[in-house]
Amino acid sequence: MPQDIALFEDLTAYENVKYFARLYGLSGTLLKERVEEALNFVGLWDKRKEYPVKFSGGMKRRLNIACAITHRPKLIIMDEPTVGIDPQSRNHILDSIKVLIKKSATQLTSDKLFHSVVVAIF
């Protein structure tokens, strides 16, 4: 997941996640299930028909996470996933990362704000 927001502003939240999932070969019913699962996971299912241009910085970060996890990667690299966002969104993202770790995804996360690198391998 990139440090800078990497979304298509002219696609809805749903279409963004769907686009990135298709890059990894997802299609049909599985594609729809995974997109819904990812958007629910980051708390944006109710915003699925909206465009990212209307989203706060934290919501855009969460949408980036949804795009990154839809294909269920074994390794997720996040470059400063909480940079420049409000404390509430920061907490939501950190909670999401904890859940991903429990689901056995390997993560490497860097965050200059806390001057730390966290590595969780399962």
Query: Can you give the pTM of this predicted structure?
Result: 0.77
Q: What is the pLDDT of residue 2?
A: 58
CATH of domain 13-120: 3.40.50.300
For the chain, the structural domain boundaries read 13-120
Residue pLDDT tens, the chain, 122 long = 655 678 999 999 999 999 999 999 999 999 999 999 999 988 999 999 999 999 988 899 889 989 988 998 877 777 777 777 788 888 887 887 777 777 755 544 555 544 343 444 33
Looking at residue 111, its pLDDT comes to 52
Decide: 80 and 113 in contact? Cβ < 8 Å: yes
Cα–Cα dist 11/52, whole Å: 8
Is the separation of the CB atoms in 2 and 28 below 8 Å? Answer: no
pLDDT of res. 122: 35
Which pLDDT score, from 0 to 100, does residue 38 have? 93
**Which amino acid is it at 122?**
F
